[in-house]
Amino acid sequence: MLQKFKVQNFKNFRDEFVWDFSNTKSYEFHQEFVPQGIMKNAIVFGENASGKTNLGWAVMDIVIHLTDSMKNIANYHNYVNLNSSDKLARFEYTFCFGGNLLVYYYEKEEVGKVLREKISINHHEILSAELGYEAKVHLKGAENLNLDMWDGSISFVKYVVRNTVLDRKDTDCRTFRQFVRFVEHMFWFSSAYGNNYIGYSNRVGSIGKNIVELDAVEELQMFLHELGIDVELAAGEDAEGKNLYCVYKNKAVLFQNIWSSGTSALTFLFLWYLQMKDMSFVFIDEFDAFYHYELAEAVVRKLLALDTQIVFTSHNTDLMTNELLRPDCYFELRDNQIKSFADRTSKALRQVHNIQKMYKAGAFNER
C-alpha cells in the first residue's frame, strides 16, 4: 500500500507537501478502512482551485516514467511551480509491502526526464542513479547488469526492471518487484475531464464494445439498477461491430446516444469497477461531478467494499459522515496542506458526531 507521499515544486505545490496515510487515530469503528494502520480509503475536500486535481496528478507522476500505461501528458504542462526559481520537482513515495518499507525518491525537471532517483528498502539503499554519474544497484540478480548502457533516456529503475532477472527468494528483490507491480497497477480517472484516465487499464476503445466483449451487459444493468437507474440493456451490432444498446418498447438504440451525463459517468465507472480488483491504487477526481448526493453515497459504499486502496475527491459535504468513513479518512486540502478532520480540531471526535454539521460550523478550521 501507499503509506506516505511527498512532493515539492510541482505545479501549485511549491513548498514540501506531505500526505501521510499512516497518520491514523485509535477509533474503534470502521477499522476495516485502516488495515495495518494505513488508510485504505480517503475522501479529499477542498475549495475550487485548492489543488485537488493537481494532487492526483502528482501522486500519479510515478506512473509516467516507470510504466508503459496510458498517460495524458497534457495534464503535466507547466510542470514545475511557476513562482519558484528552483528548476526541479521532487517526489518521494513510501510503500509498505508485508511489513517491508520501500522508499522511492526522484527529481525531475520536466515530466519525462528523471535526473536523480534512489530506492531504499527498510532504510537500506538498494539503488541510486544520477544523470552524468555512476549508477548503482544492489539487488541479487543485477550483479552483471551493464550500467554503461544506461543513457538516461528512461528511468534507471525502469532500466533495471527491463534488463535483470532478480532472485525471487530474496526479500529485497521480492519487495522491489511488489513495488514495480503496484506502480504498474495505479490508476487515475475523472468524469469531469471527459472520462479520461492515467495508468493501468486492460481495455481500450468503445465503452459499449468493451462491456459487450466482457459479457458484462447484464452486470452493468444490475449495477445501474442498484444505483437507481432503471434501464434495459442488450448486446447488439452496428457498422463498427459489437455495441451496447438500450431497449425500449418500440426500438433499441445505442446506449451512448441517449444516456445522461450522470449515466455516462456511471457507465465509465462500471468499466473501471470491473478492473479495480486488479488495481493497486485508484484516485477518482471529482467522482460525483454528475451525481445526485444520494447516488454519490451509494457509489462510495460500493467502492469501499473493494480491497483496493481508493481515494476520492469531492465537494459533496453529504459524504462527511461517520456512517461511511472515519474522521481520519476525511481530508481537507487548504493552503497547499492536507490534513484529516481528526487533525484539524482539538476536539475528541466520536462516531456519534455529525461531522458535516461540524465542518459547516467551522469546527475544523482550528489548525
DSSP 171: H
Using alpha carbons, list the distances in angstroms from residue 323 to 83, 296, 315, 351, 354.
42, 14, 18, 8, 10
Residue partners of 132: CB distance under 8 A and separation at least 6:
none
Domains of the chain, each with CATH number or no CATH: 2-200+281-360 (3.40.50.300), 207-265 (no CATH)
Question: How is residue 243 written as a grid cell?
Answer: 455495441
**What is the distance between the alpha carbons of residues 357 and 367, in angstroms, rounded to a whole number?**
18
**What is the distance between the alpha carbons of residues 93 and 121, in angstroms, rounded to a whole number?**
12
Bridge pairing between strands 281-285 and 186-190: parallel
Length in residues, the chain: 367
Within 13 Å, how many C-alpha atoms sit on residue 285's CB side?
22
Residue partners of 26: CB distance under 8 A and separation at least 6:
none
Question: How is residue 294 written as a grid cell?
Answer: 444520494
Question: How is residue 133 written as a grid cell?
Answer: 554519474
Question: How is residue 28 written as a grid cell?
Answer: 474503534
Q: Which residue(s) pair with 237 in the sheet?
A: 242
**What is the distance between the alpha carbons of residues 94 and 108, in angstroms, rounded to a whole number?**
18
The confidence score (pLDDT) of residue 284 equals 95
Question: How is residue 64 written as a grid cell?
Answer: 509516467
One digit per residue, pLDDT tens: the chain, 367 residues? 999 999 999 999 999 999 999 999 999 999 999 999 999 999 999 999 999 999 999 999 999 999 999 888 989 999 999 999 999 999 999 999 999 999 999 999 999 999 999 999 999 999 999 998 999 999 999 999 999 999 999 999 999 999 999 999 999 999 999 999 999 999 999 977 767 899 997 766 788 899 999 999 999 999 999 998 999 999 998 877 899 999 999 999 999 999 988 898 899 999 999 999 999 999 999 888 878 888 899 999 999 999 999 999 999 999 999 999 999 999 999 999 999 999 999 999 999 999 999 999 999 997 7
CB contact at 8 A, 184 and 200? yes
